[in-house]
């Protein structure tokens, strides 16, 4: 039994009919291939125009405008959580998995592997990725959608993830217990290892201790250590009323230090210009026939990769040089009320204060703290306070001595 088409009947017994049958069967397949090719070209053209051509990523939602064009718009609260995640990663303190856990607690519903891909996707800084196709190279173009984060923050996070930008704090254990805010920030005075912390059950309640896991057995009552740390903060706080003096001094020092940043900015800008010129020279050599297409492609890829890194470093460096006139008044105010600010902060805020003040761990010997390095601003304030105390002491001695001399001379004169 053989099928027979009503509109296009074929007699299969005739050998030449097989040619006609092959044409009938191949035409729909060719039509499908043409439709697929048109779809691919249309999607690539839309991507090159900066349009997102898929289901909206986390933090966005698919929408249609008045003309019928599809676009993605910011969706809350996921967008705010993603922005917070990038900002935390940009600080260089927490790792990707740690930030993912906190983001989950805030309500971001995504798996760990998906989050690891999420923080590497340029869609969140307003960019669209156009993948490589045939002879076309992969490229990143500006998107038509609203960015959740800045381009500078995105490239800074990529630098931290890839290890090109060093993290500020390594190996600090994150805790949520209010009783042990210094956990991960203390170093054992005996063996030099990092102190951990844990509760010990007493008769009526738990008692917390900072202790060393090595054989040295260092162990300190957390309440005592926390109280002594408040006294330590008092050393670095400013007396009310003299903030204006410190503000002027710090502004002058900052202007001097800013010179180093300006030199770095100039060096990076020159490096960017050098690689742009190199790419242009390679293009000229290709046009002249001195190099072939494969050699030009290698040079171009190397230059573009290096330019991405340099531009990210340039953006990160610009972010590290804020307008001090805006932040300095609030910073001085915070230092004036440093112990109070610390006491009023939650556990996360307390750890932020500690990590910002002490770039390296504190050594606690049971009575006092010491560290090899302070935050530059806090160290400057502490040094200025020491200078003021010394000058005040010298002035006090100088003012106390002359009256005794004058009195003695007056007695001698009256006697004579």
Could you tell me if 335 and 238 are in contact, meaning their C-beta atoms sit under 8 angstroms apart? yes
Average pLDDT of span 170-189: 73
Domain end (from 107, 127, 162) = 162
Least confident of 45-54, 163-172, 209-218, 329-338: 163-172
Say whether both 252 and 233 belong to one domain: no
> Nearest Cα to 84, choosing from 96, 64, 99, 97?
99
Say whether both 68 and 156 belong to one domain: yes
pLDDT band at 174; cut points 50, 70, 90: low
Could you tell me if 306 and 275 are in contact, meaning their C-beta atoms sit under 8 angstroms apart? yes
Is 116 a residue whose pLDDT tops 50? yes
Say whether both 149 and 232 belong to one domain: no
Residue 115 located in a structural domain: yes
The Cα–Cα gap between 176 and 376 comes to 28
Say whether both 71 and 85 belong to one domain: yes
Chain segment 67-90, per-residue pLDDT in tens: 888 888 999 999 999 999 999 988
Say whether both 64 and 139 belong to one domain: yes
Say whether both 31 and 83 belong to one domain: no
Average pLDDT of span 211-227: 88
Domain end (from 162, 178, 196) = 162
Say whether both 74 and 156 belong to one domain: yes
Average pLDDT of span 294-315: 81
Is 126 a residue whose pLDDT tops 70? yes
More confident residue, 219 or 315: 219
Residue 381 located in a structural domain: no
The whole-chain average pLDDT of the chain stands at: 79
The CATH number of the domain where 119 resides is what? Answer: 3.90.1750.20
Strand partners, 211: 196, 219
Is residue 118 exposed (0-12), middle (13-18) or buried (19+ Cβ within 10 Å)? buried
Say whether both 307 and 254 belong to one domain: yes
pLDDT band at 409; cut points 50, 70, 90: very low
Say whether both 220 and 358 belong to one domain: yes
Count CA atoms closer than 13 A to 369's CA, side-chain side: 25
pLDDT band at 124; cut points 50, 70, 90: very high
Is 117 a residue whose pLDDT tops 80? yes
Is 176 a residue whose pLDDT tops 60? no
Residue 209 located in a structural domain: yes
Terminal CA-CA length for the chain: 152
Range of the domain at 74: 60-162
**Helix 222-236 / helix 376-415 crossing angle, nearest 10 deg:** 60
Residue 383 located in a structural domain: no
Residue 115: predicted pLDDT:
92
Residue 54 located in a structural domain: no
Residue 177 located in a structural domain: no
Say how many domains are in the chain: 4
Contacts of residue 208, defined as CB under 8 A and 6 or more positions apart, other chains included, come to 177, 179, 180, 197, 198, 199, 200, 221, 222, 223
- Global pTM reads 0.46
Q: Which two tokens stand for residue 387?
A: 């200078």
Residue 102 located in a structural domain: yes
Residue 411 located in a structural domain: no
Least confident of 3-12, 158-167, 208-217, 292-301: 3-12
Average pLDDT of span 263-273: 84
Is residue 99 exposed (0-12), middle (13-18) or buried (19+ Cβ within 10 Å)? buried
> Nearest Cα to 246, choosing from 167, 335, 318, 173?
335
Residue 100: predicted pLDDT:
92
Say whether both 150 and 69 belong to one domain: yes
Say whether both 226 and 247 belong to one domain: no
Say whether both 19 and 141 belong to one domain: no
The Cα–Cα gap between 56 and 100 comes to 20
């Amino acid at each position: 039994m053989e099928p027979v088409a009503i509109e296009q009947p074929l007699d299969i017994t005739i050998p030449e009919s097989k040619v006609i049958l092959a044409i009938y069967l191949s035409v729909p397949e060719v039509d499908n291939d043409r439709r697929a090719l048109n779809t691919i070209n249309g999607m690539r053209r839309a991507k090159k125009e900066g349009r997102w051509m898929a289901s909206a990523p986390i933090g966005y939602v698919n929408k249609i405008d008045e003309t019928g064009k599809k676009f993605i718009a910011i969706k809350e609260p996921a967008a705010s959580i993603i922005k917070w995640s990038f900002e935390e990663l940009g600080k260089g303190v927490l790792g990707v998995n740690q930030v993912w856990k906190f983001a989950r607690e805030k309500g971001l519903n995504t798996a760990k592997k998906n989050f690891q891909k999420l923080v590497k996707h340029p869609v969140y800084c307003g960019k669209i990725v156009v993948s490589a196709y045939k002879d076309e190279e992969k490229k990143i173009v500006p998107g038509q959608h609203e960015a959740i984060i800045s381009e500078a923050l995105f490239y800074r996070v990529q630098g931290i993830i890839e290890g090109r930008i060093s993290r500020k704090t390594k190996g600090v254990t994150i805790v949520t217990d209010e009783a042990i805010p210094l956990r991960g920030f203390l170093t054992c005075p005996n063996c030099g290892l990092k102190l951990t912390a844990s509760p010990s059950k007493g008769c009526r309640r738990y008692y917390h201790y900072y202790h060393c896991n090595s054989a040295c057995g260092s162990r300190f009552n957390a309440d005592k250590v926390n109280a002594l740390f408040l006294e330590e903060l008092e050393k670095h706080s400013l007396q009310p009323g003299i903030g204006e003096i410190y503000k002027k001094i710090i502004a002058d020092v900052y202007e001097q230090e800013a010179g180093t940043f300006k030199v770095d900015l100039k060096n990076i800008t020159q490096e960017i210009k050098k690689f742009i010129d190199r790419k242009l020279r390679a293009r000229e050599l290709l046009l002249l026939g001195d190099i072939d297409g494969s050699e030009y492609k290698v040079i171009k890829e190397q230059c573009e990769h290096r330019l991405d890194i340099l531009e990210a470093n340039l953006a990160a460096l610009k972010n590290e040089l804020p307008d001090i006139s805006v932040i300095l008044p609030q910073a001085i105010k915070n230092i004036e009320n440093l112990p109070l600010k610390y006491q009023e902060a939650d556990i996360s805020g307390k750890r932020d204060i500690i990590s910002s003040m002490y770039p390296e761990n504190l050594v606690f010997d049971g009575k006092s703290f010491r560290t090899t390095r302070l935050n530059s601003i806090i160290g400057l304030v502490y040094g200025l306070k020491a200078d003021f105390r010394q000058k005040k002491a010298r002035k006090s001695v100088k003012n106390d001595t002359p009256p005794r001399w004058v009195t003695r001379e007056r007695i001698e004169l009256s006697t004579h």
